Structure formats: structure tokens, C-alpha cells
A and B are shown apart, each in its own frame.
Chain A
Amino acid sequence: MISPNLRAVNLTKTYHVNELVWAVRNLYLDIFPRDFAVLSGPSGSGKSTLLHLLAGLDRPIYGDVVLEGNRFSRLDEDGLARLRRNRIGFIYQFFNLIPYLTAEDNVALPLQFAGVAAPEARSRASQLLANVDMSARRHHVPAKLSGGEQQRVAIARALANEPDFLMADEPTGNLDSARAADIAALFGHLNRDLGKTVIVVSHSDVFDSQANRVLSMLDGRIVGDERR
């Protein structure tokens, strides 16, 4: 029996936008090693909020997230930062690259946060960019890159510290279908060949062929868990 490496326990998150909104409501979820889970559902169903909570980027009003025994509620912000740095690679829909740094420097950042010396960090960043077919563009700043290229840089950055978990919030939302398919294939490769646990929020079905679980959300709850 394989035990989950990431668990959401009675997870609840609300917002006040004119009225109280239950973004995630009494949610329980187990994610297992090498899972490739797609969170799907209509807008406002709580997919992104759940992903942020699972990545430790946000805090629930109650409930907890447990990553291999580490309860997020017991960690301060620096503790969460350390956990994100070493265990979780996160990819935003809008990339969130540092605009004044080159692609290589952006990828090297998490390595340096982990204490890797600058020359070594640059070397490894260069290799990571080569893995996502971005070698030729590694000295460009984000403004000089296309959306797909920026997303590849963001993926390389997320993989920099070789995390066990790769989480992505609408990673293909700003890409055309061909680029989206490329990104999906890359995620599939990372999951199958490198053993990463992948959780992706997506509106489209581009990841369906790669995923082994599709989690459907509605009104802050998981209403379907399709295993393949």
C-alpha cells in the first residue's frame, strides 16, 4: 500500500469580496508519489486557491496541508520558504519571472537561494535551459521572450532545485495549442521519466493524455476523482 506524500486535511479558505466566498471548503485530498493530477473545473471553483494552499503560498483559515510529515500550519514563513525552495517547483500562469534578470539569472535564483555558488548556479541554470530547449535565448530578459519561451524559463526555474513536486497554475493558459501541447509533453516526461509528482490546474484537456488523475472541483470541493 503506497502512502500519500501530500495531504490536504479539512482544508478551508475563504475570501471577502463584497460577501464571504468559500474558495476551498472542508477539503480532503491525498496526492501519491508519481501522481500526475489535473485540477479541473469551472472558474471560481477553487482550483488555483487549492494549488496555492498545497504549495504553501497561502494559508488556510483552518485545516492543514501535510507534506511528508511536515505540517504547514506549524511552519513560519521562512520555514515554508525553505520547504518551497527544496521540495516544490511552482509555475505561474503569468510566469512571474524577474523582469530585469536574464533567463539564465532567473533560473539560477532558486539555486543561489539554496546556497549554490554563483558560477555553479549559472552552469546548472544553463543546463536546465538546454533541457527545455532555451539555450539560445538564455541571455535574454523576459521582455524579449515569447509567452511560450517565458513559460519554458519558468519551468526550468521550477526544476532548478530538483523538487519532488511540480505544481503549475494554468501553465498553458497563455499559449497557443501547439505550444500548449509541447508543455504538456514536457510535464509528462518529467512525471514519467524523472518521477516528479505533478499537480496542474487547467481549464483545457491538453494534459488529459499525460495525467493519471483528473480531480474535478466545484464550489471549493472535489466532486470527482477520476483515476486512469
Chain B
Amino acid sequence: MSFVGLGLINVRRNLGRSVLAIISMAIASLVVTSLLSLAPSAHTAEHLALRFLLGGDILVTPQPVVTSAADLDPARGTPASWHLDRLPPDTAGLLAEAAPWPWAYGYLAVDGAPPPLLSDAQIASVEQALQGQAKLAGIVPLSFLPVLERVEGQDGPPTSYVRSFLAGRDIAADVEWWGGYFETLLSRGSYLGDPAGASGSGGVVCDEARTQRGYPGTRAGASLALVLPQAIDPQGGSGLPVWDFTRGTQTEFDVVGTLRTVTATELTQGGPVDYYWGTGAILTAQVTIDQLARQAGLNRAPVAGLAIKAKDLVKLDELVGAIRAALPDFRVLSVRELAASLAWTGGVVPLVGEVSGAQVMFSLVPRGLPLDLNLIFAVLAFTIAAMIVAANLLVLLIERRREISILRSLGARTADIAVMVQTEVLLLSLAGCVLGFWPIRLLATITLVANRLSIGQIASLTLGDFGLVCGIALGLAALFGLLPAIASTRTTCMEALRND
């Protein structure tokens, strides 16, 4: 009977304690695996949805985007006053000056700030700065056109129209990048095709969550009635267009598909918040939006930002860093950071004030304490798991004191005892690791596959993380497992036998 064999026997002999040790180690490794596997908000698939909505992995915008409370610090010169833009119900004919962010639910605007648009010169400067960047797969302009949307079943005056926007997409790039996902939509007919004027033959894809609460949801096969504005001042005072909806033209589109995006708010509150979400993107083809822009009096659709495609997500943060260095005057955000910012705001702008009058004032100061609950959970889980493991080992030490003393009286050395105890502890820890790692990692692998990582990349990431989790768990277990062996050398055999 070797010491390894003795360890194995002890695993079987103390089955209850072994199971408890395995469970505690499984919880600890599950927490580590979760931290390693998931980007912020990845469990809600938000970053995946954002990739689809953005058409890329990195967003480049011409002005700051609010992603944390620090962005609203008046001491840093950023305005503390923001509003969620919305068409006032009694002023439907007013000129709409600003455009919504294509990736956000609700239009978050800094009071008095210029509209967040990119000029041709800015686009050219970005493209020039990123030339030769090896990890970059492509740059997609995020074109937009503000529209008024007639909600299905509401045949009233323009006051019943809600404000939305068309986001232009490069279909060839979509197909190349997203492959089967958009091909499915394309196979349904006229996805993002030529609108043929106002004949209603064009198609769009909508975000399901964009519909105002109380109205029918947008669904594939529905018809979408939009009012397209005229650009009364194509250059505007600041080189940006000003829109006039009073001379708008109505166009109908077929909704040929829907995107479903899930937000933390939906998950935690059980449904959309009780006010206008409003400005989720209506995706249409770049050629379509450019044609509509020409109808509105522009050469082409305005650009709200640039979506940059990375060659793979593994080196995304590295690419973001390189782009930030190349574009110091722009705000550069990865989909992970956007997902995190949406998680922070709950997917929408947190509501603090009351709805009053034509404009709704919001504050972005988070409610409650600005704590990372995931981190707190991880720390708690680790603490509890460590306590259980430590308690187990203490029991092991007390239970085995007599046995260890007998073995030592027969000539076993400290190293021999250590091998016996370590065999048991490492076996239990390894079992816990496997149980804790693989279930959560298999779930995460679905996301990796959806993000089009290669099998080699997934295998490399997975095995690397498994090695890390096992290394941490087995390393800690080995450290704790040494205690009984070391403790056994501190007393003579007879002292231990006498005190037992």
C-alpha cells in the first residue's frame, strides 16, 4: 500500500467530507472560470448584440460617450446636465436637430453640445491614421437618417409619430463578417434592398426592444411607415444638417427581420422600462440610406460614428489601445466597454427625475452604491470556499493525528505523510476544478463560437484558462495540504498518541 494508495483510500473512507471539499472547490473554480470566461455583461449576450448593431467590434465617435460616472464630473469640464431626447408630443413639427447614437437605447445628449456627427475630413483622418493596422479587418461608417415612425395601429396626427432613425449598413460587409446570420435574413427577400422610392418594396431590420411600451412590437413581415425629413440647411451653421419634418415624405418599408437584444434592465426588471425606448436602430442598406439622404437634399447620409472590425476578439483590447493612441481626439470604445457601460446604466439612462412637460431630465448618477456586484460575489464565494477547504483540512488534521503518528512511529518521514495527504487533497481539488470549470466554460464557448473564433483559438483559450484555474486551485490546495504534514513534525509520536 503506497502513500498515494493511502490517500485514495482516505478519499473513499471519508466520502461526506470528500464531497463537501469537492463542492467547495467546484464553487471556487466556477467563480474563477466565470471571471476568466466572461467579459462584462457577456452573460446577457449584450456584447454579441452590440457587434450586430454596430457592425463591428470597436466604435469610434467624435465626442465623449458616457460610460461611467466619471464622465459626468463637472470638475473635468464635462457638463453635468444631460437629457434623453424625445420628440415632444405637442411639437411634432419642430425641427429635430440632433441624432441618436446608433448603439444606445434612448438618445443621450449633452445639453448645448453639438450633434455627434463625423465630418468627411474627420473620417478621412481616421482612415489615414489606421492604415496598415495589422489587426484591423475593416472600417464601416455608421450612417444615419432621423425619421418619424408611425406606430402601427395609431392613425392619428403627426403627434402620434415617434422619433427614430435609420442606420445604414454595408450589406456586403455584413455578409462577409456575420455570414449565416444575415444570409438568413437576406433569404427572406428584399432585406435592405432598393426602396424604390416610396413604393414600400424596401426592407429593414428592427430591434425588437425599440418599441414603446404599450404599442405592438415590431415583427418580421410588418409594414413600417416612416416620415423622412428634408435637410433645410444641408451644411448647417456648424457644417451639420438641420432637419425639417414639416416637409417630410412618408415611406413604407417591409420589416424583413428583427434583432433581439437583451439588456441588464430587461433581465433585472422583467421587461422594458416604462418610458420611451424610442431610438433603437432600424437597419437598412447603405445604398438605401444614401438614396434617402439624396431625397432629403444631401449628397449622402450623415455619419454618426465608425465601426471598426477586428480580425479576432482575442486581441481586441490590444487593438483598442493602438487605435486610442492613433486617435487621441476621438472616443474609442470596444464592444466589451460598451456592454459594460450599458450594464452600468442598465441598458438605458437611469431615471431619477419625474417626467414633466416636453423634455425629460435625467441624471446619470447611478442609483445605490456604485459597486461591482460580480466582484463582490466572487470575493464572497472565494472566501466561503476557502473557509470550507480550511475547515476540512483542520478536521483532517485532527482526525488523522493518531494515524499519522502511528505511521511515523513505523518510520514514515514528513515527505511520506505529505504525499499521502497531498494525494487526497489534490484529487479532491482536481475533481472540484473539473466540475466547476467545464459547465460554465461550455456556456462561454457558445459565445466564443458565435464570435467566430477559430477552433484553435477556442482550444487555446479554454485549455489555457483550465490550466490557470487548476493551477490556482491545486496550488492553494497543495499549500493547505502541507499543514498536516508540517504539523505532524512539530510533536513527537508519543505526544500525539497520548493527546489523542
Give A residues with C-beta under 8 Å from B: 52, 55, 57-59, 77-78, 81-82, 84-86, 90, 96, 98, 100-101, 105, 108-110, 112-114, 118, 157, 161
Quick check: is B134 within 8 A (CB to CB) of the other chain?
Answer: no
> Can you give 10 contacting A-B residue pairs, CB < 8 Å?
A77-B414, A81-B411, A84-B409, A84-B410, A85-B411, A90-B409, A90-B410, A110-B411, A113-B413, A161-B411
Contacts of B493 in A (CB 8 A): 57-58
Contacts known (A84-B410, A110-B410, A113-B416); A78 close to B492, Cβ less than 8 A? no
Quick check: is B406 within 8 A (CB to CB) of the other chain?
Answer: yes
Q: Across the two chains, which residue of chain A brings its CB closest to B414?
A: A78
Contacts known (A78-B489, A109-B1); A57 close to B494, Cβ less than 8 A? yes
Contacts of A82 in B (CB 8 A): 411, 413
CB pair A114–B411 under 8 Å, yes or no, is yes
Q: Please report the C-alpha to C-alpha distance between residue A113 and residue B410 in the assembled complex, in whole angstroms.
A: 8
Q: Report which of B13, B403, B413 forms a contact with A81, defined as CB distance below 8 A.
A: B413
Q: Please report the C-alpha to C-alpha distance between residue A77 and residue B495 in the assembled complex, in whole angstroms.
A: 13
* Closest-CB distance, B417 to chain A (whole angstroms): 10
CB pair A101–B409 under 8 Å, yes or no, is no
Q: Top 6 nearest A-B pairs by Cβ distance?
A: A85-B411, A58-B494, A105-B1, A113-B411, A57-B493, A78-B413
Tell me the B412-437 residues at the A interface (CB within 8 Å).
412-416
Q: Please report the C-alpha to C-alpha distance between residue A207 and residue B196 in the assembled complex, in whole angstroms.
A: 117
Quick check: is B9 within 8 A (CB to CB) of the other chain?
Answer: yes
Quick check: is B407 within 8 A (CB to CB) of the other chain?
Answer: yes
CB pair B412–A113 under 8 Å, yes or no, is yes
CB pair A57–B406 under 8 Å, yes or no, is no
Contacts known (A57-B494, A58-B494); A98 close to B411, Cβ less than 8 A? no
Contacts of B1 in A (CB 8 A): 101, 105, 108-109, 112, 118
Q: Across the two chains, which residue of chain A brings its CB closest to B3?
A: A112
Q: Across the two chains, which residue of chain A brings its CB closest to B1?
A: A105
Q: Across the two chains, which residue of chain A brings its CB closest to B497?
A: A96
CB pair A109–B492 under 8 Å, yes or no, is no
Q: Please report the C-alpha to C-alpha distance between residue A108 and residue B1 in the assembled complex, in whole angstroms.
A: 7
Q: Please report the C-alpha to C-alpha distance between residue A84 and residue B413 in the assembled complex, in whole angstroms.
A: 11
Quick check: is B269 within 8 A (CB to CB) of the other chain?
Answer: no
CB pair A98–B403 under 8 Å, yes or no, is yes
Q: Number of A-B pairs whose CB atoms are under 8 Å?
A: 64
Q: Across the two chains, which residue of chain B brings its CB closest to A53?
A: B494
Quick check: is B356 within 8 A (CB to CB) of the other chain?
Answer: no
Contacts known (A101-B1, A118-B2); A109 close to B494, Cβ less than 8 A? no
CB pair A109–B414 under 8 Å, yes or no, is no
Q: Report which of A84, A100, A105, A112 forms a contact with B13, defined as CB distance below 8 A.
A: A100
Interface centre among A52, A81, A109, A161 (most CB of B within 10 A): A81
Quick check: is B311 within 8 A (CB to CB) of the other chain?
Answer: no
CB pair B2–A59 under 8 Å, yes or no, is no
Quick check: is B452 within 8 A (CB to CB) of the other chain?
Answer: no
Q: Report which of B13, B408, B492 forms a contact with A59, defined as CB distance below 8 A.
A: B492
Q: Please report the C-alpha to C-alpha distance between residue A218 and residue B144 in the assembled complex, in whole angstroms.
A: 105
Tell me the B468-500 residues at the A interface (CB within 8 Å).
489, 492-495, 497
Contacts of A59 in B (CB 8 A): 492
Contacts of B415 in A (CB 8 A): 78
* Closest-CB distance, A50 to chain B (whole angstroms): 12
Contacts of B413 in A (CB 8 A): 78, 81-82, 113
* Closest-CB distance, A39 to chain B (whole angstroms): 16
Q: Please report the C-alpha to C-alpha distance between residue A86 and residue B13 in the assembled complex, in whole angstroms.
A: 30
Contacts of B406 in A (CB 8 A): 96, 98
Q: Please report the C-alpha to C-alpha distance between residue A165 and residue B415 in the assembled complex, in whole angstroms.
A: 25
Contacts of A114 in B (CB 8 A): 411
CB pair A57–B409 under 8 Å, yes or no, is yes
Known: A55-B409, A58-B494. 17 other contacts (CB 8 A): A57-B493, A57-B494, A58-B492, A58-B495, A77-B492, A78-B414, A81-B408, A84-B409, A85-B411, A85-B412, A98-B403, A101-B9, A108-B1, A110-B410, A113-B411, A114-B411, A118-B1
Q: Please report the C-alpha to C-alpha distance between residue A112 and residue B2 in the assembled complex, in whole angstroms.
A: 7
Contacts of B2 in A (CB 8 A): 112, 118
CB pair A109–B495 under 8 Å, yes or no, is no
Contacts of B410 in A (CB 8 A): 84-85, 90, 109-110, 113, 157
Q: Please report the C-alpha to C-alpha distance between residue A129 and residue B257 in the assembled complex, in whole angstroms.
A: 82
Q: Please report the C-alpha to C-alpha distance between residue A114 and residue B416 in the assembled complex, in whole angstroms.
A: 11
Contacts of A110 in B (CB 8 A): 410-411
Q: Please report the C-alpha to C-alpha distance between residue A118 and residue B410 in the assembled complex, in whole angstroms.
A: 16
* Closest-CB distance, B434 to chain A (whole angstroms): 26
Contacts of A58 in B (CB 8 A): 492-495
* Closest-CB distance, B175 to chain A (whole angstroms): 65
Contacts of A101 in B (CB 8 A): 1, 9
Q: Across the two chains, which residue of chain B brings its CB closest to A161?
A: B411
Q: Across the two chains, which residue of chain A brings its CB closest to B491?
A: A77
Q: Please report the C-alpha to C-alpha distance between residue A90 and residue B415 in the assembled complex, in whole angstroms.
A: 22
Q: Across the two chains, which residue of chain B brings its CB closest to A121?
A: B1
Q: Please report the C-alpha to C-alpha distance between residue A12 and residue B412 in the assembled complex, in whole angstroms.
A: 26
Contacts of A77 in B (CB 8 A): 408, 414, 489, 492
* Closest-CB distance, A115 to chain B (whole angstroms): 11
* Closest-CB distance, B396 to chain A (whole angstroms): 15
Q: Across the two chains, which residue of chain B brings its CB closest to A15?
A: B498
Contacts of A113 in B (CB 8 A): 407, 410-413, 416
Interface centre among A58, A59, A105 (most CB of B within 10 A): A58
